[in-house]
């Protein structure tokens, strides 16, 4: 990565953006990361102004509508933020000759695979969120800015923002019983690991579609048990099924039963391996404690 490169981070107030800002600052890289109030990627004029003022050579798009269940109620809004706005960013990146790295999701798959998903496996999203994120990938490909990169990741959590571990820890501390699905399997991915991996891909000049997630796999129930153990918390934890959960919350999104990502292409591109998810969870707990706890 060019030390003098101008880097624009969209979604500047988000969890992943926070990790990217931290990683870039450690590398002494200049960047701008305007919050949504200053850069709404669905707003043409704000996008044009951001490019005009920062003249980026690299754009890291972390802006997204990530509330999966809410996307079911707001599919048009999800399509605009996660889909059409990516095309808008791609067009601006092409005009300025900037590389655009767009963060996508394991939810573009339907979960029927018997092995970790590879980048070239057929997509078939089950939810409005997944369809909107796939639309964003398609818009980016259509515009085809120079050296574009799509990073598909999964089950993202971090110390700065609302996320699954934070929710489980706070619920356990409040003495609430936890009922968690045990038939959805994926790879929890820590934002700080993801940010380092993203910058490693940029450093190598990688392009196209690559999967990046922490290694290993676990169900949401297993992940919850690990979170409780890591934070030395006790709670009434029980398993449920996706079908039972859907009966209780009929408007919730359908999620893939299996969405583990094959990251061998990332390893080939960077010479690095993603750490096991349970090791990253330990670092999350340490970072949370350093920040004063949840």
The 10s digit of each residue's pLDDT in 171-192 is 999 999 999 999 999 999 999 9
Nearest to 71 by CA among 248, 249, 254, 261: 254
Q: Cα separation of 239 and 183, whole Å?
A: 9
Active site residue: 117, 129, 190, 266, which one? 129
Our answer to whether residue 266 is catalytic in this structure is no
Question: 3 pLDDT band (50/70/90 cuts)?
Answer: very low
What are the domain boundaries of the chain? 7-158+189-215+260-275
Does the pTM surpass 0.85? The reply is: yes
Instruction: Give first-to-last CA distance, the chain, whole Å.
Output: 34
Q: What is the mean pLDDT of residues 217-243?
A: 97
Q: Using pLDDT thresholds of 50, 70 and 90, give the confidence band for residue 5.
A: low
Question: How would you class 85 by CB atoms within 10 Å of its CB: exposed for 0-12, middle for 13-18, buried for 19 or more?
Answer: buried
CATH superfamily, with its number, for domain 7-158+189-215+260-275: NAD(P)-binding Rossmann-like Domain (3.40.50.720)
Q: What percent of the chain clears pLDDT 90, i.e. is strictly above it?
A: 93
Q: Angle, nearest 10°, between helix axes 191-204 and 15-26? A: 60
Q: What ranges in the chain are assigned the alpha helix state H?
A: 15-26, 44-54, 68-73, 75-79, 85-96, 128-143, 164-173, 191-204, 220-230, 242-248, 264-270, 277-290
- Structure token pair of residue 85: 């706005």
pLDDT, tens digit (0-9, with 9 covering 90-100), for 39-92: 999 999 999 999 999 999 999 999 999 999 999 999 999 999 999 999 999 999
Q: What is the four-CA torsion angle of 249, 110, 20, 87, rounded to 10 degrees? A: -100
Q: What is the pLDDT of residues 243-292, one digit of tens each?
A: 999 998 888 999 999 999 999 999 999 999 999 999 999 999 999 998 87
């Amino acid at each position: 990565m060019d030390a003098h490169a101008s880097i624009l981070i969209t979604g500047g107030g988000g969890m992943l953006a926070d990790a990217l800002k931290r990683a870039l600052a450690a590398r002494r890289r200049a960047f701008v990361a305007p919050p949504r109030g200053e850069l709404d990627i669905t707003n043409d004029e704000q996008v044009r102004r951001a490019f005009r003022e920062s003249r980026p050579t690299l754009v890291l798009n972390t802006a997204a509508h990530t509330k999966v269940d809410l996307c079911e109620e707001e599919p048009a809004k999800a399509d605009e933020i996660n889909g059409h706005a990516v095309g808008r960013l791609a067009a601006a990146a092409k005009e300025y000759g900037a590389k655009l790295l767009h963060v996508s999701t394991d939810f573009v798959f339907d979960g029927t695979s018997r092995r970790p998903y590879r980048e070239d496996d057929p997509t078939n999203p089950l939810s409005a969120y997944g369809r909107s994120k796939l639309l964003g990938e398609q818009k980016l490909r259509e515009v085809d800015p120079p050296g574009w990169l799509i990073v598909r990741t999964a089950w993202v959590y971090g110390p700065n923002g609302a996320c699954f571990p934070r929710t489980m820890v706070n619920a356990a501390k409040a003495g609430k019983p936890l009922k968690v699905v045990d038939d959805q399997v994926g790879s929890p991915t820590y934002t700080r690991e993801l940010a380092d991996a993203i910058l490693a891909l940029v450093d190598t000049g990688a392009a196209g579609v690559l999967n990046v997630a922490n290694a290993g796999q676990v169900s949401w129930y297993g992940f919850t048990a690990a979170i409780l153990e890591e934070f030395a918390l006790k709670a009434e934890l029980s398993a449920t099924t996706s079908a039972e959960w859907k009966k209780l919350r009929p408007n919730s999104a359908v999620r893939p039963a299996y969405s583990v990502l094959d990251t061998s292409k990332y390893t080939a591109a960077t010479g690095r391996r993603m750490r096991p998810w349970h090791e990253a969870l330990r670092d999350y707990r340490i970072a949370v404690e350093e920040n004063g706890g949840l």
